[in-house]
Amino acid sequence: MIDLDVILLVSALVLIASIFAARVGSRFGLPALLLFLGIGMLLGDAVLGIQFSDADIANAVGFGALVLILAEGGLTTKWDDIKSSTGVAVVLATVGVAASVGLMTLFGYFVLRLDLSIALLLGAVTSPTDAAAVFSVLRRVPLPHKVRGVLEGESGLNDAPTVLLVTLASSWAAGEKPHESVPVLAVEIVGELVGGVAVGLALGWLGIQLLKRISLPSSGLYALAALGWAILSYAVASQLHLSGFAAVYVCGLLLGNAKLPYRVATRAFVEGIGWIAQIGLFVMLGLLASPKLLSWNDVAIAVAAGLFLTLIARPLSVLVSTVWFRIGWRDKIFLSWAGLRGAVPIVLCTIPLALRVPSSQRLFDVVLIFVIVFTVLQAPTLPWLANRLGLADRGQPHDVEVEVAPLERMSADLMQLRIPVGSKLNGVEIGELRLGRNAAVSLIIRDNEPMVPGARDLIRTGDELLVVTPSHLRAQTEQRIRAVARGGRLAAWRQSAAE
């Protein structure tokens, strides 16, 4: 019999402990994922004695969690921040990963004296960067959009080729001979990635058309629909033997930037789902680990592999991937150091575990040490490095968040926005917004006190504005507000006057 009450009690305690751990992690600049991993190891057989060793379940749960994390990453990433960096990100996610895998395989085989199949697996599982780690750490570092865009785009796309590579390498290590040559396998990997992107684009466009035209009875249903549609893209691509990871990220990216109703509520909801996925994933991986079986030799291999990847393989892969792009040496240094590893390498290790590859448990433990040591080393130093390289821009203005709720019976939309620190809306008069015909700021909430503004009243940082606009002019009204938020009261003067 399953004691549901005990399961709910333990789950609630783990969830609450993980939430407090996330607070501690943010205080010290550490990704919360490491603390979640520690909670899992504390619960495991090394301390409290909870037994968990089912690699098949770990593999299924791990991939499911990665789908949710990538969906959350796509839905919360702003296209304006990454569009100029898409080319570099795609090359890093393909050519960069290939270069890193090759270098790590050579190092593992010739220096660490690993079997060739295990050396290839070590290179394949450690080369991709982790979306959860990149999203959680870099969004707190004030970086230029192009640098953040490269890292976020790379982490969202590089899971796709490496999953296929790790699966093929695991089959080879388990004794199955590959049926295709290396060039054919490379074409197959690229084809799956391109096909996954195509599925994500097609379903993302279709989801936008549907959600724009359907009227749902609750704001929460819009968030559920967006997340469910992104997950659907993963399932469809996987059924077509294409990259589901590329599909879910691209589909989420389209939906998250489509100006759908209740975008802020959707963002908050999927961020919460992303946190739950990270907590569940890393607690489970901590349970799967066996710290008491670790040897000093495993620790030495993990540290040596991590040093080679961080100081040699990653910088060389960045150099090769950016040679055709105009990227300064400061950006290249930061891109090299900011290649954070987290959930992805550990989850990828569950593939050879599930296939019962010899030495797969040792590989899992080595990669676990690798992730812990180098995440602790790299993540807290990123703000310092950004400052030293002159990349940090703490004075850059923050874009205004606009929440939209449809007022169907009036054929109008209610827009709610909060003025963030650094926004050039601060000090602008209501009349200077020039929102257009029949659009108006109906209410300002300042210090929790509502006021009906006049044309000469000033907007202040921290204000919440309620704007009513005809539905067919909503996009134009939002575009004007964002233009003033970025460029001040004189933004697009001639264009606005003409309108």
Q: What share of the chain is helix, strand, coil (3-state, %, to 5)?
A: 70, 5, 25
230: Cβ contacts below 8 Å, ≥ 6 apart: 71, 74, 75, 207, 248, 251, 252, 255
pLDDT at 408: 61
Q: Enumerate domains of the chain plus CATH numbers.
A: 4-388 (1.20.1530.20), 401-498 (3.30.70.1450)
The number of residues making up the chain comes to 499
Which amino acid type is present at position 329? W
Q: Give the span between the Cα atoms of 100 and 123, in whole angstroms.
A: 7
Q: What does each of the 499 residues of the chain score in pLDDT, given as a tens digit?
A: 567 888 889 889 999 988 888 877 776 666 677 888 888 888 887 778 788 888 889 999 999 999 999 999 899 888 877 888 889 999 999 999 999 999 999 999 999 999 999 999 999 999 999 877 787 777 667 788 788 889 988 988 888 889 888 988 898 888 777 666 777 878 888 898 899 999 999 999 999 999 888 878 777 888 999 999 999 999 999 999 999 999 999 999 999 998 788 777 888 899 899 889 989 998 998 888 877 777 889 999 999 999 999 999 999 999 999 998 989 999 999 999 998 888 889 899 999 998 889 889 889 989 999 999 998 889 888 888 988 998 876 445 456 777 777 776 677 888 888 888 778 899 999 988 988 788 999 999 998 899 999 989 999 998 999 999 988 888 788 888 888 888 887 775 544 443 4
Give me the pLDDT at residue 109, please.
Answer: 95
Query: Exposed (0-12), middle (13-18) or buried (19+): which is 455, by Cβ within 10 Å?
Result: exposed
Query: Tokens representing 438?
Result: 């029949």
**What is the secondary structure of 392-439 as a DSSP string?**
--TTPPPPPEEEEEEEGGGTEEEEEEE--TT-TTTT-BGGGG---TT-
DSSP 177: P
Q: 403 - beta bridge partners?
A: 416
The one-letter amino acid code at 444 reads I
What distance in Å separates the CA atoms of residue 359 and residue 353, rounded to the nearest whole number? 9
pLDDT at 67: 94
Beta-bridge partner residues of 469: 413
pLDDT of residue 495: 47
Contact 417, 402 (CB under 8 A): yes
48 contacts 17 by C-beta, under 8 angstroms: no
